[in-house]
Chain A
């Protein structure tokens, strides 16, 4: 499994359990996220703390997951991004579509 899921009272905590988020796990990640949405998960807080590298294939899957989530009335929050990944997302304006927070606590507080 690419993601580790823990259901909390108000949200679903999702940890990406991979250091390298790339072409090799992008498709599996998207499938797992979509399955999670199908089980009824609404506010998914996606924790990137273990991820040190993201490529464009994975970003594509991340956005596809968000589009799917929104179409089902759900949402994805990104937390604990390492600086270079945070900068990359801002560089390509992903911060305009994802809600990005420093920590899970801050994301929860915004719910």
Chain B
């Protein structure tokens, strides 16, 4: 197994010792940051987070044990793997170090190549454990009988509806999509994006999705099929829920009238949707005024109406889609992405082209966030 390049903080007041260890570890491809004291190490920790800390025990000022104790009291630093490196070998001292959750205690008299290889082995074990934990979590997540993305797309005569999703780094992500068929005439289609990534966002996506599903179901039972009223209800409940206090989500809620092709749309902090008119062969941006769910009680929500004609297409997407067009670290521009997507919407096989292009961008490693897209097309009827 190859260990990726690691940032190693070496805290030792002996510059010779520090330099020699640095030399061996640098040769193994790691980046070393030497600090002459615990105080200097704390200053350095303000600006970067090492993958592992090697610290001497006996140092002027704060000694290695006190340094370790202070790190353990700090949320951002307590979990950084820590190794004591010292000339002392008394059993009591070694046990004291290990009791402070140090992963090892290396005696300085050990030949340098052995020290370097021991550190390399520890880094490999940590890497292996990390990868194994992630795999186990992923497997557990896959086994859960719940999903934030529907397994099948809605089948509505006269329409082609497609859901496309790719989570960030293949972690289950914070984007969610779903649809609920209210009756023979109306279907609700929704998409949301929890602000965050990976496990935390994934976990909260279920909380949000449950609220949204329930709100829609309750409103259907009451025969209240207004997107605006549903989103207002969801926002009210989310604002009251302390467990979602710091968790925000966007939401795009669309109601499709199968008979007339009328779309009503309410958005909460979401990206505007694109409507391609087959008649005009042009795309317009349809924006909504609502704030992110959970931000405040009055979310400035509104409701937009779009009339889909035969051949019209509708595209809604999360910010991860625009981020996939980013080069380097520059901010993506919605307008740039909109222009590219609008051009593609003219294609007969627009969905296949767009999803193909997105997957191609992904293979270039450009994805920086969960990305989701909903495509709705009103199919041209043959009797026209």
Interface residues in chain A, defined as those with a beta carbon under 8 Å from any beta carbon in chain B: 1, 19-20, 22-23, 26, 28, 30-31, 52-57, 59-60, 63-64, 67, 82, 84-85, 87-88, 91-94, 96-97
Note all chain B residues with C-beta closer than 8 A to A96: 291, 300
Per-residue CB contact flags for chain B residues 334-346 toward chain A (1 = under 8 Å, else 0) read: 1100000000000
Note all chain B residues with C-beta closer than 8 A to A56: 193, 195-197, 319, 369
Q: Are B300 and A23 in contact (CB under 8 A)?
A: no
Of all A-B residue pairs in the complex, the 10 with the closest CB atoms, nearest first, are A60-B195, A84-B331, A64-B246, A56-B195, A92-B269, A53-B329, A57-B196, A1-B46, A20-B329, A53-B331
Q: Are A22 and B47 in contact (CB under 8 A)?
A: no
Q: Are A53 and B246 in contact (CB under 8 A)?
A: no
Task: Please give me the residue from chain A that is nearest to B198 by CB atom.
Answer: A23
Q: Are A87 and B196 in contact (CB under 8 A)?
A: no
Q: Would you call B270 an interface residue if the criterion is a C-beta within 8 Å of the partner chain's C-beta atoms? A: yes
Note all chain A residues with C-beta closer than 8 A to B270: 92
> What is the bound-complex CA distance between A19 and B330, given in angstroms?
9
- Give chain A's interface secondary structure class: helix
Q: How many residues of B contact A (CB 8 A)?
A: 38
Q: Would you call B290 an interface residue if the criterion is a C-beta within 8 Å of the partner chain's C-beta atoms? A: yes
Q: Would you call B26 an interface residue if the criterion is a C-beta within 8 Å of the partner chain's C-beta atoms? A: no
Chain B proximity of A63: nearest CB distance (Å): 6
Per a CB cutoff under 8 Å, which of A20, A55, A59 touches B323? A55
Task: Please give me the residue from chain B that is nearest to A51 by CB atom.
Answer: B331
Choose among B198, B319, B335 the residue with the greatest number of A CB atoms under 10 Å from its CB: B319
Note all chain B residues with C-beta closer than 8 A to A57: 195-197
> What is the bound-complex CA distance between A77 and B334, given in angstroms?
24
Which chain B residues in 29-56 approach chain A with CB under 8 Å? 46-47
Q: Are B272 and A60 in contact (CB under 8 A)?
A: no
> What is the bound-complex CA distance between A82 and B295, given in angstroms?
24
Per a CB cutoff under 8 Å, which of A26, A52, A63 touches B292? A63
Note all chain B residues with C-beta closer than 8 A to A28: 76
Q: Would you call B271 an interface residue if the criterion is a C-beta within 8 Å of the partner chain's C-beta atoms? A: yes
Choose among A31, A85, A92 the residue with the greatest number of B CB atoms under 10 Å from its CB: A92
Q: Are A92 and B292 in contact (CB under 8 A)?
A: yes
Q: Are A55 and B368 in contact (CB under 8 A)?
A: yes
> What is the bound-complex CA distance between A22 and B197, given in angstroms?
10
Q: Are B369 and A67 in contact (CB under 8 A)?
A: no
Q: A60-B246, A97-B291 are in contact. List 4 more A-B contacts (CB 8 A).
A: A88-B319, A92-B250, A93-B269, A96-B291
> What is the bound-complex CA distance between A22 and B319, given in angstroms?
13
Q: Are B197 and A23 in contact (CB under 8 A)?
A: yes
Q: Would you call B333 an interface residue if the criterion is a C-beta within 8 Å of the partner chain's C-beta atoms? A: yes
